[in-house]
Amino acid sequence: RAPRDALPYLQRAATLEPDNVAYLAELGAAQLRCAKLGDATYTLERVLELDATHQSALLNLGNCFAHRGDDARSIALYERANELGGGAHAVALRNLGSAYHRVGRYDDAQRALRKLLA
């Protein structure tokens, strides 16, 4: 319920500052949690136009595509997020391992999950 309650405030903030990456990333994440996949995709793509290395936007956009069954696009986004390392590296590896498994790339899934445990 909290993401749904936050949506009007996040939308207002993003309207007032349409190039504020932090506001847009939070809005996209809330839209994703509310299953507003089209809105979330649009918002997160805008974040990546402004900052192509925004790790949470890469991961959340990957999740949007995963929910739609577009594993190729989700894998590409998870791989980009993984290459960046940093704070969300573990999430990127977990998502990547799951996506590889869904498409039958079992060796890649195993490698990703082993890196996660290392």
Residues 24-39: tens digit of each pLDDT: 999 999 999 999 999 9
Rounded-to-5 percentages of helix, strand, coil across the chain: 80, 0, 20
Give me the pLDDT at residue 2, please: 77
pTM: predicted TM-score of the whole model, two decimal places? 0.93
How many whole angstroms separate alpha carbon 86 and alpha carbon 64?
Answer: 22
> Mean pLDDT, the chain, as a whole number?
94
